[in-house]
Structure 1
């Protein structure tokens, strides 16, 4: 009776229960009931039951992926990853500069490191201080380490998606002959996939490796055991994923729609997902291509022609939203020529979205019917397109500053009507600060008070990522001295008052009411009314960005102001690698502010000083 817990005997029925090993999560006990003749001894019965238990446990243990199976599986995955890398590099465009080429190399290196970390630690992966120290010893810069950290976050989100789990299940079934993997086996397959990606990226080092020869060497390496079990994996490569456009789009969107803790980053992701889904839905409706394997160059060309024939403004009301694309095109035939055709920049944006989608499909083995050329579909931007957002002229500035917002309005809800009330809020201060600092709309509207330093010798803005908004790029984090006119206009008093009240945001009344909104969006509706009323038709090509355009134009036409200082002020990326890498503004705050303060004060503030009392 060793190992069994005798429960009871009722007549000819003997019942035993035995606790199973802790590794078995499905049940805690296995119960066996046997009808036996009265003359059967308990010892004989116990032997039979123990044999049954042994068979059961043996079957459960056999679900574990052995080391030999893992080695075969990993070797084959590495070959596939190397082939994928070779194909992607074969078709990728030439890097426009050594700096761009190097960035590709650094991105791949960061991905490889991140893949190994997530493979080892799963959802708990993170860069510990020891990891950072090791990376620094290997020559990783702070920016490189940040790239690794970002890739770790992306991979952690990716491995939790149902798509990733389904792919792992399919691989386990085809390559390992395991149609019903448990949680542990799927976790092992996922780890091996990450290790294969890391190994392939490391072997195909852009600096020196020959990917083709690496693939050959990997494929011909002698393995511990025959690879017969891997043949189904190769045979089913093109059958793992559906070629249906709807399926690929769903997977592509799911991959981009990841959840992050950073609220500002989450808003950015949500906006991107919404835009990508709309573009791909429009593409499918226009071309009616159901399978990506049927897609041809002529379909892409036709789609662009549809964009060129659409009304400039469409589907902005319920009636138009109910129309099909064909019905909208028919309506467009009745419109004047100047109301038809999307802007070249919009068409190019949609082409770029298609390029990303097709790259995703190709990365998992689903290819169009023929080689596609998207570069030929892009539209050149003429002078009008490049000048779409013109700088404000002196006359424009005079008209804007004479609006009731700055000269006196009726009330908080009647800001466009002349009166005796001055309300100093985001609508009042936002345009003033932007025009005298060159900041972007969201940079100034979503600013927090801890980004405004009034205690320094040179009061300044430290524009950086915060909980309200992200920055456009790495160069956007910068120091901007406050124009001396802002103190005269009362901005410093405004900031001090907000801090005394315990506020967090520079313009708290602009806080969006929904999680997908932005401070700039709340501001825009009121600002648009100002430009429309003050500038008339000129408002069509002048937006809030025109303040920034004016700021840059004034300084660039001043021959005494070095170009690199203007770039530092407005957050433009330096083309020279030496300036871009070693011009650390935050580390040398005092020196940088000393140089930038006189430059900012070169921008005229007369329009505001003459109006605001």
Structure 2
């Protein structure tokens, strides 16, 4: 990286210029107008441009990202972060929570954290040298503590599975929109995208740090000029191919393989019948973007388990006998199969041996789970047939389905109101000994995800992941009513299209300070309103970290919980309670909990319940304490 910015004046306006090697023996210059007459601002942007240019060129040299792709991604990162900074500062001015000094401290810590991560890597701790440097610049011990907290939050968010998935989706979308190219991020490309993500956010915060509007608007214009007003050349295109390969891939699973070039219209396409490859194609289909990440993982893990069980890797070789044997294995696995990440590395023989030592009631997956495996095979076979892969006509999945032992309404019991009020008398909500001893009475009320999550579900009927995986941006005001927007976000999808909805915040939650909690997370730049619940690996879902303490609290308060009530029982309680109220219509109840309409008239010719009416429905739910 150049030691001084590559700046020069064109009239009275500063510009940036950099010599860039072409894909031949020549060199070419990239030149941007920075649209400012202030040298101090120009130096900030130019230093970051030089730094990112070096990184981008290094990424391009590996053949993983083209210049146009890198430019589109960097453009998106800077624009998005500048817009986010602008929104945060507007909220701080018009709806302040806390003091102006606290806002400035969080801004300072966020800017320094992104710069630290961009220059030194994703290390969540400050070195002694970095601490001394910050102190010498006038940072207080309190500011250093805030900086270290911010480093930890941001680094965990960037490296988390949800953060990587969000980055991949954003990169795919912005590159597709900007230059019409699709990408399939490999391991190396993921690292390159992450480098630019950190550098882009650092550049945005450096430009905006310590400035109020309209200077922020000027910084935003500078960033737009960096990435949109360039007269840099496009990457050279390769000459057209005359001998195009067949689309068939090798039979052995090949991950992150570069897709073959498309053939002419008369070319006969073939597809790899390998089961793993078929599942990867299903998960990569654009029209399945709405599918939850958990569902994609289930499909992939099922394919691996089937291959381990039967030894069959070719989908065209699968017979009814293979599927019947696979079903018998599912009925002999431990009921806890899949709950531990270690299960993915255990052999089928090891799993069955473990099950042999368990009580009978701990063995065998539930009928619903087994039927889910069969439903996924139905999808696999449909897609295979659509690709002209020959699937045995003798396969009849319906003959393998396991009959349910309970009616749907009996699978999950609902809390009775007195039971629920008894649960909320637990020390988690009334005061515990400390943050590690949540089940021992005391004076500490820690308002985290364990505290808020069950209350939110009891006052909305929302599903566990719907409430626990909300982001600060999912909260808004409609018709002067605070509400949360349950929709797809970086942490989870929604179950169905009807699950997308606006839910008013119950007045008891507001009285307890829930909106202040959301605003605090927004100011911190947290990826979720309960960042401590973000999954740490692929086997976890949002809320798994809450399960143990929530279940223990229910067991303690309800004398062992003989009815086996669970978090989902909160949703059943809300639906059951509202059904008993004649003033709440069936449509209003369905709109609140995200159920689809009863018929085509509800689905196509009706409107969503207005927010004032919906607030009235929510307020019909009794206060828990």
| Shorter-normalised TM range | 0.5 to 0.7
Shift of 1:513: 5.0
**Equivalent-residue separation in structure 2 for 1:600 and 1:564 (angstroms):** 14
Instruction: Provide closer, same or farther for how the CA distance between residues 375 and 481 of structure 1 changes in structure 2, counting only shifts above 3 A.
Output: same
C-alpha contact (below 8 Å) 2:315/2:391 kept by paired residues: yes
- Report the Cα distance in structure 1 between the residues aligned to 2:328 and 2:491, rounded to whole angstroms: 39
Query: Cα distance 1:280–1:495, how it changes in 2: closer, same or farther (>3 A)?
Result: closer
Residue 272 of structure 2 is aligned to residue 249 of structure 1: no
TM superposition shift of 1:463: 2.5
Which residue of the other structure, out of 603, 606, 611, is the alignment partner of 1:593?
611
Task: Find the counterpart in structure 2 of residue 376 from structure 1.
Answer: 399
- 189, 196, 220: which one pairs with 2:263? 189
Deviations 1:531-553 (A, max 9, x none): 34434653773221111111011
Larger % of helix: which?
1
Number of equivalences? 385
Residue 300 (structure 2) aligns with: 277
**1:279-300 deviation digits (Å, cap 9, x = unpaired):** 1222233334455444322322
State the SS of the aligned residue for 1:387. Answer: helix
**What is the CA–CA distance in structure 1 between the aligned matches of 2:542 and 2:263, rounded to whole Å?**
44
The CA distance in 2 between the partners of 1:432 and 1:515, in whole Å, is 27
**CA separation of 1:363 and 1:311: change in aligned 2, threshold 3 A:** same
User: Which residue does the alignment assign to 1:410?
Assistant: 433
Question: Which deviations, in whole Å up to 9, do the C-alpha atoms of 1:223-257 show, x marking residues without a partner?
Answer: xxxxxxx8xx5xxx8xx5565xxxx1131133145
Counterpart among 577, 600, 603 of residue 577 in structure 1:
600
Counterpart pick for 1:472 among 495, 500, 517: 495
Q: Which residue of 2 aligns with 1:551?
A: 574
Q: CA deviation at 1:484?
A: 2.9
Q: Residue 584 of structure 2 aligns to a residue in which SS?
A: coil
Provide, for residues 211-233 of structure 1, a one-character-per-residue CA deviation record: whole Å limited to 9, x for no partner: xxxxxxxxxxxxxxxxxxx8xx5
Deviation at 1:325, TM superposition (A): 2.9
Structure 2 vs 1, CA of residues 339 and 290 (structure 1 numbering), >3 Å: closer, same or farther? same
Cα deviation, residue 562, structure 1: 1.1
Secondary structure of the equivalent of 1:309?
coil
Shift in Å at residue 519 of structure 1?
Answer: 4.2
CA–CA distance in structure 1, aligned partners of residues 483 and 516 of structure 2 = 14
Shift in CA distance, 405/333, structure 1 to aligned 2, threshold 3 Å: closer
Q: Which runs of 5+ in 1 are unaligned?
A: 1-24, 29-117, 126-164, 173-182, 194-229, 586-590
Q: What is the distance in 1 between the residues matched to 2:542 and 2:617?
A: 28
- For 1:255 and 1:553, how far apart are their aligned partners in 2? 42
> 1:280–1:354: 8 Å Cα contact kept in structure 2?
no
Distance 1:367 1:570 in 2: 42
In structure 2, the partner of 1:123 is 181
Preserved contact between residue 388 and residue 541 of structure 1 (Cα < 8 Å): no
Match of 2:460 among 430, 437, 448: 437
Q: Would the aligned equivalents of 2:275 and 2:313 in 1 still touch at CA under 8 Å?
A: no
1:55-101 alpha-carbon deviations (Å, 9 max, x no partner) = xxxxxxxxxxxxxxxxxxxxxxxxxxxxxxxxxxxxxxxxxxxxxxx
TM-score (norm 1): 0.54
Aligned to 1:306: 329
The CA deviation at 1:557 is 2.4
1:27-426 correspondence runs (5 A):
123=181, 169-170=245-246, 187=261, 189=263, 192=265, 240=270, 248-258=274-284, 268-269=292-293, 271-289=294-312, 291-314=314-337, 324-326=347-349, 328-329=351-352, 332=355, 335-383=358-406, 386-426=409-449
Equivalent residues of 1:301, 1:377 under 8 A apart: yes
Alpha-carbon distance in structure 2 between the residues aligned to 1:306 and 1:540 = 29
Task: Tell me which structure has the larger Cα radius of gyration.
Answer: 1
Q: Residues 526-537 of structure 1: matches in 2 within 5 Å?
A: 526-535=549-558, 537=560
Q: Does the 8 Å CA contact 1:297/1:370 hold for their aligned counterparts?
A: no
Further displaced range: 273-282 or 526-535: 526-535
Higher relative contact order (CA 8 A, sep 6+): 2
Cα-Cα RMSD:
4.2
Give 3-state SS (helix, strand or coil) of 1:459's partner: strand
Using the TM superposition, give the Cα deviation of residue 310 of structure 1 relative to its aligned residue in structure 2, in angstroms: 2.9
